[in-house]
Every structure is written in C-alpha cells, then in structure tokens.
Amino acid sequence: MSADVVVRPVEPREYEAVGDVTVAAYMTVEGFSPGERYQAELRDVAGRVESAEVLVAAAGDGRILGAVTFVPGPGPLAEFDGPDESGMRMLAVDPEAQGRGVGRLLAQACVERARATGRSRLVLHTTGAMAGAHRLYRGLGFARTPDLDMRTQGGMLLEAYILELG
C-alpha cells in the first residue's frame, strides 16, 4: 500500500463515490448478495453522517480506496446497547485496492476514535461470508462474541465481534 493514503472524514462531494465503493466491495463477497434495499442503505452516506462519522481512505490523487462508518455511541446506527460502547459498520475497500492494508487503516482509525472518546469497547457485526474481514478483526484483537449475535429482518445472522479497549 502506498504511504500517501490518508484516512479522514468524508466530504459531501465524495458521498456518491463512497456509496459506489461500498456496494462494489460488498458485491465481491462470495456467498453474500446485498439486496436492493441494503444496497440503498450502503449508498446512503448522507444519511449516515447525520448520526455517525464516515471515514474514507483516500489516495494521494483523491481517489476513494475505502470507507467505514464509526458510530461513537448509542443512536440510530448503533448495533450495541452500552452507553460506553462505540461501533464500526460498513467497512468496505474498493475491490482494486483490497489486500493492501486499506481495511486495516480504516479499522484502526475506528479503534483510535473509540479510545479518544473514552469508550470501553468497540462493537461490530459481520456476516459469516466475510472471512477476510474476520481475519482482519481477529488480527486487531477483536474477539468473536456469539452472545451478541443478531439477525436482520430478513433472517440473516450477523456475527458480533468486540474489542475491549480497557
């Protein structure tokens, strides 16, 4: 990965590009096919920034290589209940940039933000099909936490991972 990749908050002019990258990344996951409704949610960057922080990994030329949504505390996008918890959602890396450490940079930025806001843990949910993401999360110290698993309205199992920040 190039040293000129910067992780920073998304800019409004980038919302469409972030939505495109997010959907493209999710479409490459073998065994996972986001329906039209979820694709619309993945594209709704403007909606996410209303209650969370969307971070991008941008190349030196400004191209969006990936994005993640950091949920600083309880609210509309929270998939956790604890008042001292934060969350990470919709981690996505452009298929052309996968395997180059972009996802790790984005996840680490969420860990840093959670620590900076004094949270005790960072919570995320993922699908069983996202094996590459599971390796990344375990490598960062996240622990699989089945008792916090949840199901979508459509019945898909979302597997919980937690990073204790104590």
- Residue 3's pLDDT band, with cuts at 50, 70 and 90, is low
The CA distance from 15 to 31, in Å, is: 27
Query: Angle at CA 29, nearest 5°, toward 34 and 12?
Result: 65
Neighbours of 151 (CB within 10 A): 9
Q: What residue has token string 């040293």? A: 3
User: Lowest-pLDDT range, 99-103, 123-127, 128-132, 148-152?
Assistant: 128-132
Neighbours of 95 (CB within 10 A): 12
The CA distance from 46 to 54, in Å, is: 9
The CA distance from 150 to 134, in Å, is: 16
| 17 phi-psi bin (left φ>0, alpha ψ -120 to 50, beta other) | alpha
Look up the pTM and report it.
0.92
The CA distance from 52 to 101, in Å, is: 23
**77-110 pLDDT per residue, tens:** 999 988 899 999 999 999 999 989 999 999 999 9
pLDDT value at residue 14? 97
Domain residue limits, the chain: 6-119
* Domain 6-119 belongs in CATH node 3.40.630.30: yes
Mean pLDDT of the chain: 91
